[in-house]
Amino acid sequence: MTTTAERTSTGILVTGGAGFVGSTYVRTLLRTASADHTVTVLDKLTYAGSLANLASVHDDPRLSFVRGDICDAGLVDRLMAGQDQVVHFAAESHVDRSITDGGAFARTNVLGTQTLLDAAVRHRVGTFVHVSTDEVYGSIAEGASDEDRLLAPSSAYSAAKAGSDLLALAHHRTHGLDVRITRCSNNYGPHQFPEKIIPLFITRLLGGRPVPLYGEGLNRRDWLHVEDHCLGIELVRTRGRAGRVYNIGGGVELTNRELTARLLAACGAGWDRVDYVADRKGHDFRYCVDWTRARDELGYRPRHDFERGLAATVAWYRDNRAWWEPLKARCHA
Ligand code: NAD
């Protein structure tokens, strides 16, 4: 890994590339992209980012890492010069934190995205993939949200993401910037920060501790392996259309109780390890996306079987305590 970007052909700026999804994308991209691609990661390394997530590609000469803030207009402007494409992951991403500190979410997710979009327009960047979430549609009791559904976010996290989606689309309409948006359901897999439900529960169970289940555990989520999310993003980057939104889903819909049962079984623990805690404020009951567009236009289809993917994820956390134990200390999870 070098510290300055020496672009030869296709230069891709990846924001938030030291986080869970962004680092999975960078590792995958460097495995599959041709030698003439360069990847510049811009990441602030907040509590959620870690260079350990990029350790396996650290020595790749196509990769440059810059520690910095997407809200830093001067830095963003310098880095954007000469880039051909942007894949934008950087965000404050944990709903629970957004309930107590919404300001950080508005700043990074809205102002940071605006800063990147403005620089992308100035430097005539070709394609800007904005990675968003199914949470912008809000909770739906039944059926699935297609891309035309009215946005109805519930938390400061999803509201800030919805704001960034609208800014991205506005830069397409106003400036003709080739913006493409992905909205994905809940991800699981290795390298996820241990405050999110799956790694939180696994790491607590492996440590012999109880796990906190919100309310009665009946809220429903659609789960997708992080590599399938990255596959969808890559299809959008390479085959998607400008100004278009693509839902990415197709995993498995489970209540949090059903998910907990699987994690308890995988970790050899019983229900006596579950603490029922007061429900999250404004807790969305259910998300579900209709990903027909990504399937029909891009040939997207998730590849990972959920049961095998979850078992492999539990095994990864069992084998990689050195990765998560320092992070647990950092977030008191
Ligand atoms: P994460 O919290 O694991 O990683 C976020 C990364 O962004 C970290 O490396 C952090 O250091 C960096 N970052 C935060 N603020 C920054 C700033 N101001 N400047 C530069 N870097 C900054 O999040 P994640 O789960 O990997 O999510 C990545 C993206 O994918 C987010 O935009 C999120 O909305 C979206 N997404 C995630 C999921 C999921 O289930 N994880 C699902 C759908 C969409």
DSSP string over 245-287 = EEEE--SEEEEHHHHHHHHHHHTT--GGGEEEEPPPTT---B-
What is the atom index within ligand 1 of the atom nearest the CA of 16?
A: 7
Query: pLDDT value at position 1?
Result: 59
Ligand 1 centroid from CA 206, angstroms:
25
Angle at the Cα of 205 (from 203 to 208), degrees rounded to 5?
Answer: 110
CB 88 within 8 A of CB 19: no
Q: What is the pTM of this model?
A: 0.96
CB 85 within 8 A of CB 128: yes
Residue type, 312: A
CB 35 within 8 A of CB 201: no
Query: pLDDT value at position 5?
Result: 45
Query: pLDDT value at position 7?
Result: 47
193 Cβ below 6 A of ligand 1: yes
The matching CATH number, chosen from 3.30.360.10, 3.90.920.20, 3.40.30.10, 3.40.50.720, for 11-187+226-248 is 3.40.50.720
263-288 pLDDT, tens digit per residue, is 999 999 999 999 998 888 888 889 89
Distance CA 251, CA 249 (A): 6
What is the atom index within ligand 1 of the atom nearest the CA of 88?
A: 32
Q: Characterise 176 by phi-psi region: left (phi > 0), alpha (psi -120 to 50), beta (else).
A: left
CA 7 to chain centroid, in Å, comes to: 26
Question: Hey, CA dihedral for 214, 333, 210, 258, is it positive or negative?
Answer: positive
Where do the structural domains in the chain lie, given as residue ranges? 11-187+226-248
CB 1 within 8 A of CB 63: yes
3-state secondary structure of 218: coil
Distance CA 168, CA 161 (A): 10
Mutate which of 14, 46, 80 to test ligand 1's pocket (most atoms within 8 Å of Cβ)? 46
Ligand 1 centroid from CA 26, angstroms:
13
Q: What is the pLDDT along the chain (333 residues), one digit of tens a residue?
A: 554 444 458 999 999 999 999 999 999 999 998 888 999 999 999 999 999 999 999 999 999 999 999 999 999 999 999 999 999 999 999 998 999 989 999 999 999 999 999 999 999 999 999 999 999 999 999 999 999 999 999 999 999 999 999 999 999 999 999 999 999 999 999 999 999 999 999 999 999 999 999 988 989 999 999 999 999 999 999 999 999 999 999 879 999 999 999 999 999 999 999 999 888 888 888 989 999 999 999 999 999 999 999 999 999 999 999 999 999 877 777
Residue nearest to atom 32 of ligand 1 (CA): 89
28-31: which pairs have CB atoms within 8 A and are 24 or more residues apart? 28/227, 28/230, 28/231, 28/234, 29/234, 30/57, 30/60, 30/62, 30/63
63-104 pLDDT, tens digit per residue, is 999 999 999 999 999 999 999 999 999 999 999 899 998 999
Q: Tell me which of 135, 165, 234, 284 is the catalytic residue.
A: 135
25 Cβ below 6 A of ligand 1: no
Strand-by-strand arrangement of the 244-248 sheet: 63-67, 37-43, 10-15, 85-88, 127-133, 178-184, 244-248
Ligand 1 centroid from CA 231, angstroms:
17
Ligand 1 centroid from CA 254, angstroms:
23
Which residues make beta-bridge pairs with 65?
Answer: 41
Ligand 1 centroid from CA 211, angstroms:
24
Q: For residue 135, indicate whether it is catalytic.
A: yes
Q: Tell me which of 157, 246, 300, 317 is the catalytic residue.
A: 157
